[in-house]
Amino acid sequence: MSALAPATRAWLEGLGFAVENESLWSEALTHGSTGEARDYQRLEFLGDRVLGLAVAEQLYRRNHGSEGELAQRLNALVSRQVCAAVAREIGAPDHVRLGKQARDDGAQGSDNVLGDVMEALLGAGMIESGFAATQAIVHALWERQVAGIAGRSKHPKSALQEWAAGNRRKPPEYALVERSGPDHAAQFTVRVGVHNVGEVTASGPSKQDAETAAAKLFMETYG
């Protein structure tokens, strides 16, 4: 019996992936809520590294900015939000395998889930076809993002760090206040403060997102 639905296999091949081991690709699309022995987490770990190197090489060749500028753009382009946006563009939500409760909770449209699945697919591509072939797919799928504005403006955390230094203040301090919600719809609340200036709290779907939102709010309030 085939591990993939014919429509899912056709979709993957249409994206440029070479599908040999169907069980591997099924794993890449399987969320932990299904209760199956293997889900996408290990492949996500690998795909995250593949994505980072592929996009870093793409930026290096096409952008003559400084190391700091390249790093800023890279962080934006491999973020969970961008991974999820690419996953939506290619139609991934229709192929993610979820347990009933997770599907009822809206996990199919979650940035957390779709971002993880996108990276897991790249991990599976690496296992099946190696880095060069997977890199070519990343370059094609991320073309619009790389050519766009993602990461071109100063990141809020960098802006806050520079503001504190420029005003002879201690560096900003971030603290996780609360984590709530299920894994596929987690909510993080972070507090950021600068000594003798003030502090604010903000929330987001990941700790990094919450820290970014807090830095932005701090600058809007005290900057």
Q: What is the residue-level pLDDT of the chain in tens, covering all 223 positions?
A: 568 999 999 999 999 999 999 999 999 999 999 999 999 999 999 999 999 999 999 999 988 888 878 887 888 899 888 999 999 999 999 999 999 998 888 888 999 999 999 999 999 999 999 999 999 999 999 998 888 766 565 678 888 888 888 778 899 999 999 999 887 788 999 999 999 999 999 999 999 899 999 998 998 888 7
Q: Is residue 60 part of a domain?
A: yes
What CATH number does the domain containing 84 carry?
1.10.1520.10
CA 128 to chain centre: 22
Do 163 and 134 lie in one domain? The reply is no
Q: Is residue 1 part of a domain?
A: no
| Residue-level pLDDT at 184 | 79
Q: How far apart are CA 90 and CA 134, in angstroms?
A: 16
Edge-to-edge, what's the strand order for the sheet holding 198-204?
173-180, 187-194, 198-204
| Structural domain boundaries, residue 21 | 6-147
Q: Is residue 49 part of a domain?
A: yes
Do 200 and 119 lie in one domain? The reply is no
Q: How far apart are CA 139 and CA 52, in angstroms?
A: 11
Domain boundary among 94, 121, 147: 147
Angle between helices 131-141 and 41-62 (to 10 degrees): 70
* 171 three-state secondary structure: coil
What CATH number does the domain containing 170 carry?
3.30.160.20
* CA angle, residues 8, 124, 108, in degrees to nearest 5: 50
Do 169 and 205 lie in one domain? The reply is yes
Do 169 and 139 lie in one domain? The reply is no
Do 127 and 44 lie in one domain? The reply is yes
Catalytic residues: 48, 119
| Residue-level pLDDT at 31 | 95
Q: How far apart are CA 213 and CA 3, in angstroms?
A: 41
Do 95 and 204 lie in one domain? The reply is no
Do 47 and 143 lie in one domain? The reply is yes
Do 100 and 209 lie in one domain? The reply is no
Count of domains forming the chain? 2
Q: How far apart are CA 23 and CA 46, in angstroms?
A: 17
Do 87 and 197 lie in one domain? The reply is no
Do 140 and 211 lie in one domain? The reply is no
| Residue-level pLDDT at 96 | 96
Do 128 and 173 lie in one domain? The reply is no
Domain boundary among 114, 129, 147: 147
Domain boundary among 127, 147, 167: 147
